Amino acid sequence: MFHVKPRKMSEKILRCPVCEKSVFSPFLEVNDHFLSKEDFTIQQCEGCGFKFVNPRPDTDEIGRYYQSDDYISHDAKKADIISLIYKFARVLSVRNKYSIVHQYASHGKILDIGCGTGEFLKYCKSKGFDVTGIEPNEKAGDFAEKKNGIPILRSLTDLNSGKGSFACITMWHVLEHVHDLNETIETVKGLLQADGVFIVAVPNYKSWDAQEYGKFWAAYDVPRHLYHFNDSTMNQLVEKHGFKIHKTIPQKLDAFYVSMLSEKYRSGANHHFKAMVNGFKSNFHAKGQGRGYSSQIFVFTTKKA
């Protein structure tokens, strides 16, 4: 059970993490439908259009917004329809993630930042990769270590060695959670081999389903999602650190799962058929008007690669 407390440790962003400009305007007021029921403001940078929660819980405070028995990413026991669909999609997703990684790295060391319970790394390990996971959530990390046999660290700072040694580093729906955005990307760059790849999956606020659901769009997921990306701001961000976008890959299943949650947030009830229809609509409209898909995978390489 979550107990609402006054936000005493909020921090305010003064400079845009992407372009470093300091003029912002309100974009959207969004409720934390998932847990606290508090309202948060998403602002947009007037320089580059990047969107972020501001003010936001600081690193000491943010943990309480993850404290729920219903945090589905780490729950293997729930049997409701949304949870079952999520688990089925996760099985497909693990194999899809591996197939993407395998296109760029056929062997070597993989680091998955925010690895959760470790299913992706377990699959990679079964294919012969040397795997390491970083997972700050104690419950998920313990499961990854004890049940899936994955070596787990709690943060990037715990990785004492490994500079230039990883063939691939992944962040599957994790970058939007990270407070120290630029510092994290710069650290990743230092850990990669010269020809290594950095693979990131994030929600896309320009997608059709994001426009359809507005403040009820589940992928805003405030305050856990601190940032909200599109192709342009993602490209500007990684270019600062010497990366380039090599390829963008859709996560088509996400449109259905996100629509199911968004329908519940908007109406207070489950409307599975309508959510499925909207998932199809989102994927259908993804290539029109520069919208993009509900969630997208970016494959980054260094500019010299």
Listed by start position, the domains of the chain span 71-302
In terms of Cβ atoms closer than 10 Å to its own Cβ (0-12, 13-18, 19+), residue 37 is exposed
Amino acid identity of 289? Q
Q: How far apart are CA 55 and CA 7, in angstroms?
A: 10
The CATH architecture assigned to 71-302 reads: 3-Layer(aba) Sandwich (3.40)
pLDDT tens for the 305 residues of the chain, in order: 444 454 556 899 999 999 999 999 999 999 999 999 999 999 999 999 999 999 999 999 999 998 876 654 545 556 666 667 667 777 788 999 999 999 999 889 999 999 999 999 999 999 999 999 999 988 889 999 998 999 999 999 888 777 889 999 999 999 999 999 999 999 999 999 999 999 999 999 999 999 999 999 999 999 999 999 999 999 999 999 999 999 999 999 999 999 999 999 999 999 999 999 999 999 999 988 789 999 999 999 997 65
Residue 180: predicted pLDDT: 95
User: What per-residue confidence (pLDDT) applies to 7?
Assistant: 53
* Contact call for residues 119 and 88 (beta carbons, < 8 A): no
H helices of the chain, in order, are: 81-104, 119-126, 138-146, 181-191, 208-213, 231-239, 254-267, 272-284
Strands of 24-31's sheet in order across: 24-31, 39-45, 51-53, 227-228
Cα–chain-centroid distance for residue 292? 16
CB atoms within 10 A of CB 46: 13
CB proximity list for 271: less than 8 A, separation 6 or greater: 263, 264
Asked whether the beta carbons of 178 and 155 are under 8 A apart, the reply is no
Per-residue pLDDT, 86: 65
Asked whether 294 and 210 are in contact (CB, 8 A), the reply is: yes
